[in-house]
């Protein structure tokens, strides 16, 4: 008696399996189903056994974009043709509620895996489908994505307001500086003539004083130009350019900017697409980011400039945190090995006159100007902190085969 094989109730085992399973015959008729599958789909065993899967679970008639039935049918055809498993992407396949629960359809997202069961003739006798209900995960992620997009839009509006304010003030101030510089030049010429007639004397000292006024006014004019760039009120000359050519042309300038104590590394995608941009502004963008990186590495380090083509398949720019629409883009990334930006300050780094190093050089306009340049091309500039490495990524507007149309 001890040698007799134990009788195993495989039907009970299958139905009690701790997962959602359904078995289909070659005509897609349901021949077996697990308890977890019934619970997940709000059905009873008698409601689905012996019925076609698409009869038991039709598409939501209120959703004109419903593709769950079509996608599942295509997957089952692939399994039977190729006789291999087919893992489907996450699908929206809405489930009909029982009438005693209000009827209608409930939005559901599933992760399905369809596997063939071969008969003695090596043909597909059955298809076992295992599904996982991932609705909560998808909805939570969608909510997080929406929150990120709203935060990004709010930040863009805030910086846009700062840009308009800064650009308006700079425009007026620039006109005043033009008057100051012109009159200083007139007075200086007269002083130089007077100094020449009298052999220097007190006019020589006056000439030096006026030159200091002119130097200060020119420096103020440079700051107003940076403010105009932040406010995007400066004149730009967009054209089709290769970011690789821009980076190569600016390499010597970048090395001089960061200094000998910082190693400059450049990595470029050889098959980089063209973009529509102002070459001078791109050089200014690179220099501003290099200056910012130099300030973060007073004891030396590495500044890396990279270019590449990227395919974005979601609003998160493949996890980069940059709110861009799906599509193809060209990306310029500048990173350094400095101490990094405190997380609580990341949201302020693009504000004009904001400086994470209060005692450091500069007016706190470098990143604000970089942001203004990028926004002026309808692109995105993001700041990130990865360990001790800080990164600034700028994907210019999406490109086509030939050039960026943005």
Q: What is the pLDDT of residues 39-97, one digit of tens each?
A: 999 999 998 999 999 999 988 888 888 888 999 999 999 999 999 999 999 988 998 88
Give 184's pLDDT tier (boundaries 50, 70, 90). Answer: confident
Whether 249 and 382 share a structural domain: yes
Q: If you average pLDDT over every residue of the chain, what do you get?
A: 76
Whether 182 and 310 share a structural domain: no
Whether 26 and 126 share a structural domain: yes
Count of the separate structural domains present in the chain:
3
329 pairs with which residues across the strands?
310
Residue scoring higher pLDDT (361 or 257): 257
Q: Which of 150-164, 225-239, 355-369 is modeled with the greatest confidence?
A: 150-164
Kindly report, residue by residue over 101-157, the tens digit of the pLDDT: 888 888 899 999 999 999 888 889 999 999 999 988 888 887 877 777 777 667 666
Whether 267 and 384 share a structural domain: yes
Single pTM value for the model: 0.43
Whether 53 and 97 share a structural domain: yes
Does any domain span residue 105?
yes
pLDDT value for 33: 94
pLDDT value for 200: 62
Instruction: Go through 299-327 and write b for each residue having 16 or more CB atoms within 10 A of its CB, e for each that does not.
Output: eebbbbbbbbebebeebbbeebebbbeee
Does any domain span residue 400?
no
- CATH code (residue 24): 3.30.450.20
Whether 250 and 360 share a structural domain: yes
Whether 370 and 343 share a structural domain: yes
Whole domain around residue 47: which residue ranges?
A: 10-133
Whether 119 and 183 share a structural domain: no
Kindly report, residue by residue over 12-48, the tens digit of the pLDDT: 898 888 899 999 999 999 999 999 999 999 999 998 9
Whether 356 and 287 share a structural domain: yes
Residues whose CB is less than 8 angstroms from the CB of residue 32 and which lie 6 or more positions away in sequence, other chains included: 11, 14, 15, 21, 22, 23, 49
Structural domain ending residue among the three candidates 133, 166, 192: 133
Whether 28 and 109 share a structural domain: yes
Does any domain span residue 402?
no
Residue scoring higher pLDDT (208 or 358): 208
User: Nearest CA to 20 among 44, 43, 32, 38?
Assistant: 38
Structural domain ending residue among the three candidates 202, 230, 258: 230
Whether 66 and 188 share a structural domain: no
């Amino acid at each position: 008696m001890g040698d007799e094989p134990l009788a195993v109730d495989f039907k009970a085992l299958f139905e009690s399996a701790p997962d959602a399973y359904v078995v289909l015959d070659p005509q897609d008729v349901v021949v077996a189903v697990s308890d977890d599958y019934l619970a997940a789909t709000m059905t009873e065993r008698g409601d689905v056994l012996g019925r076609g899967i698409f009869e038991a679970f039709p598409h939501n008639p209120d959703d004109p974009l419903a593709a769950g039935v079509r996608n599942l049918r295509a997957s089952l055809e692939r399994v039977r043709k190729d006789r291999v498993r087919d893992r489907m992407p996450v699908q929206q396949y809405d489930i009909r509620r029982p009438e005693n629960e209000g009827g209608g359809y409930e939005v559901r997202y599933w992760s399905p895996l369809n596997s063939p069961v071969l008969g003695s003739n090596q043909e597909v006798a059955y298809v076992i489908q295992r599904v996982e209900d991932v609705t909560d995960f998808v909805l939570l992620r969608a909510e997080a994505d929406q929150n990120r997009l709203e935060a990004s839009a709010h930040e863009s509006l805030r910086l846009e307001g700062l840009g308009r304010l800064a650009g308006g003030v700079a425009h007026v101030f620039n006109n005043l500086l033009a008057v100051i510089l012109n009159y200083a030049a007139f007075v200086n010429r007269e002083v130089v003539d007077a100094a020449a007639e009298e052999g220097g004397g007190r006019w020589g000292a006056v000439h030096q004083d006026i030159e200091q006024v002119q130097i200060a006014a020119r420096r103020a004019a440079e700051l107003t130009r940076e403010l105009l760039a932040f406010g995007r009120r400066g004149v730009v000359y967009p054209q089709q350019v290769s970011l690789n050519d821009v980076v190569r042309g600016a390499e010597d300038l970048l090395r001089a900017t960061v200094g000998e104590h910082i190693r400059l590394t450049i990595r470029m995608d050889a098959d980089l697409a063209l973009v529509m941009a102002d070459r001078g502004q791109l050089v200014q963008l690179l220099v501003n980011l290099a200056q910012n990186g130099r300030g973060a590495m007073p004891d030396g380090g590495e500044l890396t400039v990279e270019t590449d083509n990227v395919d974005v398949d979601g609003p998160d720019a493949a996890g980069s945190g940059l709110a861009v629409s799906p599509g193809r883009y060209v990306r310029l990334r500048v990173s350094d090995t400095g101490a990094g930006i405190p997380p609580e300050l990341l949201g302020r780094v693009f504000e004009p006159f904001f400086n994470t190093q209060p005692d450091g050089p500069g007016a706190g306009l470098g990143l604000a100007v970089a942001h203004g340049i990028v926004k002026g091309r309808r692109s995105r500039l993001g700041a990130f902190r990865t360990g001790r490495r800080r990164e600034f990524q700028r994907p210019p507007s999406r490109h086509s085969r030939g050039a960026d149309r943005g």
